Structure 1
């Protein structure tokens, strides 16, 4: 099926149940390179249909993950966010508590983030001493979290928070990794590894916090505790890691119209 067939839309929605400690603003990734749509088009109509169906579907799902299908090709829709980028066909919008996006290409077949539906954010402040050690410790935390999340075979929520001890100025560095639950543990690990590998190219090593957020996986670190709930993985570990599932909620859908 052509990737840009008229009316073809893919969308997904993820809602975090572990809420951030501070209010968030949305960060959009808008792309009109494949064209815009109109409210009365098949594409616009399918978006409205999916937006109406998915919240109820996910709330009644034991795994907090839902899909829905309607119509016939090529007017395919997986639901998400149309408000921040009016009429754009390729949109991703990221909040601290959720992300949503849609496209005229089926991004759910990919196991990594799409470059044009991904955002790079940093906190704008920097450590001024022990920079090399800070970077190495941050990498150790995130790499350990990715390795652990890749072993969570029985978890429908590929979501993990963690922390690692650092120094007197910054006692702990905190991290968060998550993937859509339709990814296998190996696919989740691959997506997160790719995101972490992008960090040196996107961020100054001394930045106190940064995140890469895409529609398939998210990785973030800060020098402050930016999430509610208990820290699920703590390093260095005195013994086996104790993991507490604080949960995430995911939505995705395909509509054919």
Structure 2
């Protein structure tokens, strides 16, 4: 028997039949499964079926399903008591409404139970995510970057990739700062930037609401590194994390009718809590500023008074991105003010980088950032004042160098090493300085060494060992060969710079100028030759005012040569360097291999000009 559906159904009946199909289609779109991570931590194990843990988990998921939509799109809670207590969190995308959020969380709740029997799991859908764990994870960042590589737009390459990637990084940086530090954003931001012609990049970033602005920003930095690795020069990409997500595409994929901080005007004159700005700051073309409670702002008028209106007589030094002035506040406190170049894009990047990084770092051997100043195109960084200026003022000046005895030099070497160790291993973030040199080592009144100038520094994720860049920044004579020639940088490139400085402190000679007067040798190759001939004590600065302990000097030279080996894998990390500097002799140290930039390579190095007017960093595979 056959039926003519058209005859059986009246026009009035069609809407009633189509509605379920429309709802089904909508639900499918809202609940597109992106990724499931059933063992979200190294300590995750499977729970027992019908156990107390499973009972608590099901109760938790029901609470998330009910409370997340009515709480505005985010809810976290826990159920039960130890050892069966379960912590859970749900987050809906910031541009979806109550119904879409509710539908997505309900489906995610069922799916995570179906797919995972682990006691620590995360599931991501296009419009929501759910995570639960046997351990307390609220308000802390544990970066876990995943990406659904089956999305079609992640497979399609773009034309003009260099410009596209530049604009992409700019967009994600802007959205990340807005989401992290605009109190109205609810840790969510969308926006777009035009690449050229009719090509536009659309972006979306979001953090869970429980993390701090600074941790949210750091999470975005980690995610951006992964985004570059998976999706550079592609039409789209997505990175999914426990605490943050990033997505971009060549077509608009978010709901533009929702409020997004990218579309709001953020005035520099907006109220600031306790006169502070975030660790992570963005200046738009109108010099707008996002603000929150992280760093003191000093008004421009006060800074002008402190520096005699940036008088030349107050100038302490000048770098590529700005000038440093001495200043005195009304309470008599001495400060150093870095006035960044007004029109320099690199100066703006340096400004943001300094605030993002150094304001959260506290160590005896790092310079302290006291605050910042923002007024139109003026970008100012205020530091503690270092009366003895920088290390280069001592070791490359014959008169002042003669006053620097071996004990002082040894303490400076150890201070720089401890500061680097903190950046690489002991701080909350893994930071690569990228421009370590005597000019960027300041000396306080007690001659304590303090690493400064973090404008070129980069944050690495916990498991990231190496990255690359097309814009090589730094100073000739201190750049590691893999960085100078290939743009590769890691903790080992900082170790190389440290080794150069160590040998310069001992010898009183500058590596970049040594070959001009020493038979075309670099300081590094000269030191290595003397060490091989067992004449390393001839490297010692003749201006040292007293005899030096021979064994201690030999050990330092040996450590320096280990640090400047050509292959990064051969160089030690800073933790053993610090330990070696504080130990006895050097008899157990490995034999250093020949350093780079020997006679045959000096000319190539001097003629090499790696600077490209763009930033485009790509995360690469790990390096041992």
Pair in the same fold by TM > 0.5: yes
Distance 1:240 1:230, change over 3 A: farther
Partner residue of 2:66 out of 56, 61, 65: 56
Query: Aligned residue for 1:148?
Result: 178
Q: 1:77 aligns with which of 86, 94, 103?
A: 86
Task: Confirm or deny that 1:39 pairs with 2:49.
Answer: yes
Q: What corresponds to 1:192 in structure 2?
A: 220
User: The residue matched to 2:88 in structure 1 has which SS?
Assistant: coil
TM-score, structure 2 normalization: 0.32
- Which gives a bigger RCO, structure 1 or 2 (Cα 8 Å, sep 6+)? 1
The aligned runs of 1:80-229 (5 Å cut-off) are: 81=109, 82-114=112-144, 118-121=146-149, 123-155=153-185, 157-170=186-199, 172-203=200-231, 205-229=232-256
Question: For 2:190, what is the secondary structure of its paired residue?
Answer: strand
User: Against the structure 1 CA distance between its residues 51 and 140, is the aligned structure 2 distance closer, same or farther, given a 3 Å change threshold?
Assistant: same
Residue 84 (structure 1) shift: 4.4
In the alignment, the residues of structure 2 paired with residue 130 and residue 58 of structure 1 have an alpha-carbon distance, to the nearest angstrom, of 42
Shift of 1:94: 0.9
Deviation sequence 1:118-147 (CA, Å, 0-9, x none): 445452333342111111110110011112
Secondary structure of 2:131's counterpart equals strand
Secondary structure of the structure 2 residue equivalent to 1:199: helix
**Whole-angstrom CA distance in 1 between matches of 2:179 and 2:54:** 37
Q: Quick one: distance in 2 between partners of 1:188 and 1:213? A: 14
Provide the secondary structure at the position in 2 that maps to 1:73: coil
Q: Say which structure is richer in strand.
A: 1
Partners in 1 of 2:181 and 2:88 — Cα distance? 30
Report the Cα offset of residue 23 of structure 1.
5.3
Structure with the bigger percentage of helix: 2
Could you tell me which residue of structure 2 aligns to residue 28 of structure 1? 36
CA distance in 1, matches of 2:74, 2:170: 31
Once the 2 structures are TM-superposed, how far is the Cα of residue 169 of structure 1 from its aligned partner? Answer: 4.8
Question: Offset at 1:53?
Answer: 2.4
With 146-155 and 160-169 compared, the bigger mean Cα shift is at: 146-155
User: How far is the alpha carbon of 1:101 from its aligned partner?
Assistant: 1.9
- Higher Rg of the two aligned structures: 2
Cα deviation, residue 51, structure 1: 1.8
Q: Structure 1 59/176 Cα, relative in aligned 2: closer, same or farther at 3 Å?
A: closer
Q: Which runs of 5+ in 2 are unaligned?
A: 1-25, 90-108, 264-283, 289-624
SS in 2 for 1:88: coil
Give the secondary structure class of the aligned counterpart of 1:187: helix
How well do the aligned residues superpose, as a CA RMSD in angstroms?
Answer: 3.1
Aligned length: 216
- 1: distance between equivalents of 2:220 and 2:148? 14
